[in-house]
Amino acid sequence: MTHRFLVTGAAGFIGSHLSETLIRSGHEVTGVDNFDPFYARDVKERNLAGLRTLPGFRFVEADVARDPMPLDGVEAVIHLAAKAGVRPSLEDPGAYMDANVTATARLIDAVRRAGLTRIVFGSSSSVYGNATPAPFAEDQPAVLPISPYAASKRAGELLAHAFAHLYPLKIICLRFFTVYGPRQRPDLAIHKFTDLIARGRPVQMHGDGSSERDYTYITDCLDGILAALDWTAAAAPGTVETVNLGGGERVRLDRLIALIARALGQDARIEHHPDQPGDVRLTDADLVHAGRVLGFKPRVGIEEGIRKFVDWYEEVHGRQSRASRRAG
């Protein structure tokens, strides 16, 4: 059976992959994106290039915080649009509140006014801050975020609880743990480190390399989102759920850099820098609840995922990358 879904942030990394997956599963997608200038528009246009050729995809350029949403005929909303990035949120926190909190409130309100009930909300592992004991479980308070970005995502979760309490909505908040894979945002560590090492340029490593992250490969993330979408179809009205989507392994920063260098067949030149404000020392997803609620279990480990990412990078940038290596 064909269903129609609204995906906000459809031109982004996760949103474009999700839209493709839904369409190839026989569904229709209305994608919304405002091409926020956080990174170049042409990157997002490339993300959309394949989607625009697929029957069943409709794209609307709009700002979730300001413009009416195209909800006609839609059965569920996957809200991935957000102003991303921990460190940039320290420079312009007001913009993050507008894009991540105001926009979320207006979208949920528009959904309930349209008579819809099903929402999947893309949250973040950043909400756990530095005070949550590892591994991070969803029943921890998560009340001490250490960046405006983290605070904005936690606020979005609280809005979901408030709306679902008042109206018969079914909302699931997915706490993404550093999703990576083909088309990952160019500012994120794996993409940035890969590009620098491939070009023979030094990698800026903040701290002593002992900080750890739980990295989630894009196909595992998509499995979790699709399961969450199914959850919204079966849940009781007025229900909110919060679920971690992680890769199931803590990876040290120095190991991550070494894995990328090995996959590229290059040596990594490291520039050491102090820790940056707003960055957490550790992310570590407890996946027990995700397994129970969604049947979620990650399948792609960090070594396989890095190899896949580097293969994609070299396919896209291969000629330029090889030329840089010869010059080095």
List active site positions. Answer: 149
Q: How far apart (Å, rounded) are the C-alpha atoms in residues 51 and 19?
A: 8
Q: Which of 3, 136, 177, 141 is nearest to 78 (CA)?
A: 3
- Which position has the token pair 């960046």? 147
Q: Which of 233, 296, 225 is nearest to 76 (CA)?
A: 233
Q: How far apart (Å, rounded) are the C-alpha atoms in residues 143 and 165?
A: 20
Q: How far apart (Å, rounded) are the C-alpha atoms in residues 256 and 190?
A: 8
Q: How far apart (Å, rounded) are the C-alpha atoms in residues 91 and 134?
A: 29
Angle ∠(116,122,127) on CA atoms, nearest 5 = 130
SS3 content of the chain, % helix, strand, coil (to 5): 45, 20, 35
Q: What would the two tokens of residue 288 be?
A: 């027990």
Q: How far apart (Å, rounded) are the C-alpha atoms in residues 175 and 107?
A: 19
**Pairing status of strand 250-252 against strand 212-214:** antiparallel
On whether the CB atoms of residues 141 and 111 are closer than 8 A, the answer is no
How far CA 217 is from CA of 17, 59, 174, 245, in Å, comes to: 12, 26, 15, 10
Q: Three-state DSSP class for 49?
A: helix
